[in-house]
Amino acid sequence: MNLRHYVTTNMAAPMSSVDKTPAECLQLNSTSFQKKTRSKFISIPGTRPSVQNGQLLVSSGVTSLDYLLGGGLAVGTVLLIEEDRYDSFSRMIFKYFLAEGVVCRHELFVAAAQDDPDDILQELPAPILDDVAIHRPGDQPRMSCEPQDTLDAMKIAWRYQNLPKVQSALASSSRFGHYYDVSKIMEPEIRQAAKWHRFYHPEHPPPSSGTHSPKLESYSALLKSLQEVIQREGFDLNAPLPKSRNILRVGLHSLGSALWGDDLCCHDNPKNVHALTSFLYGLRALLRSSLSVAVVTVPSHLIQDRALMGSITRLCDNAIALESFKGSERETNPLYKDYHGLLHVRQVPRLNCLASQLPDHKDLAFKLKRKQFTIERLHLPPDLSETVSRVGKGEPAAAACASATSSAKHLDF
Amino acid sequence: MFTELNGILNASPESFTPGEFILLSDRQSDASFLIHHFLSFYLKARCKVCFVALVQSFSHYNAVSQRLGVSLTQAKEKGQLTFLEGLKESLSVLIPQEENAENQAMSFLRDPAAGLRSLYEFVQSSVVESNGGGGAEEQWGPPVLLVDDVSVLLSLGVRVGAVLDFSHYCRATVCSQLQGNVVMLVRCDGEAEEDDEGSQQLMRGLTHQSCLTLHVQGLPTGYCRDIHGQVELCWKKRQSDGQHTPKKVFQFKVHDKGVSFFARGTSSAVL
């Protein structure tokens, strides 16, 4: 099992972890350079400053996604996830985000219209806790007794033990995220230690209001509830902050779907075209003035109007889209057999600086393994078959590799 | 401000053409770096700037402007900059509180169908008061209005006609009456054929009203890490020195502290 290190912004503070051996403590300060910023924040657990522009970052729960988004999610921003067709992988990332909040002891705000937020929280994946300090009274330090460990311990080349392993999966060398085992459910003790707030849409009946406005009552109620939580729990940056600061993680599931009362996904010319965009504007306003970070999932495959999707994307900061192969002909395509789907990065924000951290590659694919959600660059395997032309395989990765113009056809030599 | 762009536009803080309506637009790209350029340019030129910032917070613009050598907080204190932070003001309108201490400028959010009259009145009051200022204040140059960005108004439910009316009124007040400049950013998404009626109409209307357009888009050949896109500059009227160059195209790369512009094919990554 690989060692994960729980890194806080205050690097001088000693790690207070019961299950670390002295040898592990020595290799805590990894060799990656971290810009020294005189941060005005008292160090908040689970955050670190970005090396590019000093922005305060939190982990999204998926280490590869953190790397893709420039180190993590910046506090005060919104991540938009365009759901895949059956909402399986986007829901997974949503749960990773919330689970990361539980493990880092952030506060959570979960809003959903389809499932009760209690049920969503009971399905969170179990963290792989070999080095995380979770206060559990009278707990034995966990010893990882898997046989894989003996393979990792090097006897001859022990100097190289500390170096990160070279891997094609996108990962940065200094990790502040955690890994989760999706085959297990998070233990109730860990979950109940977290403080969280809920908004379940069927519990909030729309008040009868006479004002005509483009905003839906469901979204207005959600915005109001979120503002109340931010102000009451001390996340508002305008008010004097309490001594111990924390981050609020906001998870909004499936906004824009019909269950929220919105008809964006049902009609070609929806009546409430601007309800979701007005809500996202208000959400951005709330987040910019508070210590919180939001993940919003939208069933974009049901929205016919691409221009509307474009304006929704522009109102969020980070935006990714998941396209899973389930149920499509690509599932059996041998080119994609290693992956579960494609991941498109639609937008990366420019925050407090001119440049943005664009990803290196645009052709990315993801795979959900038991202990890791990996995002990798899509490689075309060498064509070792007798026939030269790849007939009948539809549009293989050539379409994934093309960017704005898709006029490139595969060249047959 | 970006010195290379000043050379291309043949402008400097000491001498620039007054009474211009400059339109910044982008398609599937991000032209916000041009807003930062014009903001620092006009502040250095000692103009009185009114900035309607609808999409980002004040600290974002302040952080970028400091890298470009201008301090927005100082400019605000001295009275040179009037900053409308749309995000902050909108919360009091979107979430109605009992005590209604809202800024009237963003009240169009409550009823977008009514139009942008209140926003225009805010602009007018902040731009006109400079000329009637007392002797104790420093004398600033011609007023400048910057809007970032106009297409978010469409997302919030305002009609295209209302936005075009607003830009026309601003142009009439700032450019014609007061010989100042107006810079607006409008953003499109998707191919030109897929645009919905509203944003296409807005784009065409604003292009017609402007005298200089800078259109930013990605490279036609695809994504490249070293060249972030291309800028197409289009002048509508003849320039003062008689030269008539209607269109120019440059490629650019955004760095931490500036943007470098170069002719097509001469990027340092290629040569």
Q: CATH code at B176?
A: 3.40.50.300
ipTM of the complex: 0.92
Q: Describe chain A by its helix, strand, coil percentages, rounded to 5.
A: 25, 15, 55
Q: Is residue A101 one of the residues assigned to a domain?
A: yes
Q: Residue A86 is part of a domain; what is its CATH number?
A: 3.40.50.300
Spell out which residues of chain A touch residue B220, defining contact as CB-CB under 8 Å: 404-405
**Helix (H/G/I), strand (E/B), else coil: B151:** helix
Q: How many CB atoms lie within 10 A of CB A72?
A: 24
User: DSSP H helical segments within B45-82, as ranges?
Assistant: 58-67, 72-78
A204: left (phi over 0), alpha (psi -120 to 50) or beta: beta
Report pTM.
0.82
- Which residue from B125, B105, B124 is spatially nearest to B116, judged by alpha carbons? B105
**Regarding beta strands A125-127 and A78-82, do their DSSP bridges make them parallel or antiparallel, or are they unpaired?**
unpaired
Residue A150 lies in a domain: no
Q: How many domains, chain A? A: 1
Which residues in chain B touch residue A212, judged by CB atoms under 8 angstroms apart? 111
Task: Inspect the interface and report whether the beta carbons of A214 and B112 lie closer than 8 Å.
Answer: yes
In a domain, A410, yes or no: no
| Alpha carbon A282 to chain centroid, angstroms | 21
Q: To the nearest whole angstrom, how far is the Cα of A136 from the nearest Cα of chain B?
A: 41
- A350 vs B: CB within 8 A: yes
Q: What is the CA radius of gyration of chain A?
A: 22
Structural domain contains residue B252: no
Q: Is residue B157 part of a domain?
A: yes
CB-based contacts of A83, cutoff 8 Å, min separation 6 = A90, A91, A254, A297, A298, A299, A300, A301, A322
A157 has a chain B CB within 8 A of its CB = no
Please list every residue in chain A whose beta carbon sits closer than 8 Å to the beta carbon of residue B32.
350
| Stretches in chain B below the pLDDT threshold 70 | 98-103, 129-138, 190-195, 238-245
Q: Is residue B105 part of a domain?
A: yes
CA distance B256 to chain A (A): 6
Chain A nearest-CA residue for B97: A224
Check if A289 contacts B (Cβ < 8 Å). Answer: yes
- Contact check, Cβ <8 Å, A315/B190: no
Judge: A310–B189 Cβ closer than 8 Å, yes or no: yes
Please check whether residue A15 lies inside any domain of the structure. Answer: no
Residues of A in contact with B111 (CB under 8 A): 212-213
**Does B270 map to a domain?**
no
| Nearest neighbour of B91 by CB, restricted to A213, A286, A402 | A286
Contacts of B54 (CB under 8 A, 6+ apart): B86, B87, B147, B148, B149, B152, B153
Average pLDDT per block of 10 residues along chain A, 413 residues long: 40 40 43 47 78 86 90 93 93 94 92 92 86 43 42 72 55 62 90 91 74 71 93 88 86 92 83 89 94 95 87 93 87 83 90 81 88 86 62 43 43 56
State how many domains chain B has. Answer: 1
Domain range for A65: 60-127+166-377
Pick A274's closest partner by Cβ from B28, B87, B155: B155
| CB contact at 8 A, B149 and B36 | no
Q: What region, left, alpha or beta, does residue A46 occupy, with left being phi > 0 and alpha being psi -120 to 50 degrees?
A: left
Query: Is A52 in contact with A196 (CB distance < 8 Å)?
Result: no
What DSSP designation does B171 have?
A: I
Q: Does A239 touch chain B (CB under 8 A)?
A: no
B120-126: long-range contacts, CB 8 A cutoff, minimum separation 24: B120/B166, B120/B169, B120/B170, B122/B84, B123/B50, B123/B52, B123/B170, B123/B173, B123/B174, B124/B173, B126/B50, B126/B82
- Check the CA dihedral A380-A386-A389-A392 and report its sign: negative
What span, in angstroms and rounded, lies between the C-alpha atoms of B223 and A404?
A: 7
Partners of A308 on chain B (C-beta within 8 Å) are 196
B197 in any annotated domain:
yes
Subunit contact B254:A277, Cβ cutoff 8 A:
no
d(CA A59, CA A47): 7
Hey, is B43 helix, strand or coil? helix
Sign for the CA dihedral angle at B238, B242, B247, B251 comes to: negative
Measure CB to CB from residue B189 to each of A314, A351, A355 and give the nearest one.
A314
Predicted pLDDT of residue B191: 66
The confidence score (pLDDT) of residue A391 equals 46
Out of B87, B196, B257, name the one closest to residue A284 (CB). B87
With respect to residue A7, please indicate whether it lies within any of the assigned structural domains: no
- Look up the domain containing B203 and give its range: 17-130+139-217
CB contact under 8 A, A305 and B59: no
In a domain, residue A13? The reply is: no
8 Å CB contact between B249 and B230: yes
